[in-house]
Amino acid sequence: MSNLEYLTREIESITKKLNEKYKMKEEIQLLSKEAQRLCGEAVSLTHRKMINEALEKIKSAEKIFEKVWKNLQTNLDLIRNTLTAFQEYVEARALIQIVTENKIPLISELKVPEQSYALGLADLIGELRRRTIDLLREDAITDAEKTLELMEKIYVLLQQLEYPKSLVPGLRGKLDAMRRLIEDTRRLVVYSIISIKLRRALEKASK
């Protein structure tokens, strides 16, 4: 074959490029897992009211995400390996800003893929339920009701991405789970309100 020499060179070039891509994939996955871990710790710290420590974790995660984005510039096909990490970042940042600033960060502020933003907000519902329960334990009924209301508003907004077309893979199952969590949380809030009012009435009567 007259072109065998050229074919050999091309295969060698392809092998080199694929090896480089494999190494890049491994690096991106390692960075993403580390960022994901930091975001999980930030969520836990936020629930424990250790906000400064949570913010430090988030800052560390953001530095890692900067490296991830830099690597993705020439390897955008590897972005699927980062979606879960970005998703957890959205969840963590949103929880912290809700607690500290009473607002949800926009996608333009976070600079994450659209899919990760939507799924991150969906996962946020579970953390808001946990926050609602903590508020009920503190007899902070008004704040608990506001948090429940926020859960419901997020659910309604995300439904737009599912109906009539499924625009975000994996969102449908999360919406079903969100609905169940919201209904369960609503029952808890109603039950707690009744219990607290009854307790206060009994305390008043006893005096």
Which tokens sit at 118?
A: 């939507």
Q: What is the pLDDT of residue 14?
A: 82
Encode pLDDT of 176-194 as tens digits.
Answer: 999 999 999 999 999 988 8
User: Average of pLDDT values for 97-103?
Assistant: 95
Asked if the domains at 1-112 and 115-207 fall in one CATH topology, the answer is yes
Residue ranges of domains in the chain: 1-112, 115-207
80-94, 98-112, 117-131, 155-169: the lowest-pLDDT one = 155-169
Q: What is the CATH code for 115-207?
A: 1.20.58.2140
Q: What is the pLDDT of residue 189?
A: 94
Encode pLDDT of 18-77 as tens digits.
Answer: 777 788 888 889 999 999 999 999 999 999 999 999 999 999 999 999 999 888 887 777
- Sign of the C-alpha dihedral computed for residues 137, 104, 160 and 86 taken in this order: negative
User: Please, which pLDDT band fits residue 129 given cuts at 50, 70 and 90?
Assistant: very high
User: Please, which pLDDT band fits residue 101 given cuts at 50, 70 and 90?
Assistant: very high
Q: Cα–Cα distance between 181 and 129 in angstroms, integer? A: 7
CATH of 1-112, picked from 1.50.10.20, 3.30.470.20, 3.40.1440.10, 1.20.58.2140, is 1.20.58.2140
How confident is the prediction for the chain on average, in pLDDT? 90
DSSP the chain: -TTHHHHHHHHHHHHHHHHHHHHHHHHHHHHHHHHHHHHHHHHHHHHTT-HHHHHHHHHHHHHHHHHHHHHHTT-GGGGGGTHHHHHHHHHHHHHHHHHHHSS---HHHHT--HHHHHHHHHHHHHHHHHHHHHHHHTT-HHHHHHHHHHHHHHHHHHHTTTSSS--STTHHHHHHHHHHHHHHHHHHHHHHHHHHHHHHHHHHHH-
Share of the chain above pLDDT 90, in %: 63
Q: What is the pLDDT of residue 77?
A: 79
Q: What is the pLDDT of residue 73?
A: 81
- Greater confidence (201 vs 158) lies with 158
Claim: this prediction has a pTM higher than 0.85: yes
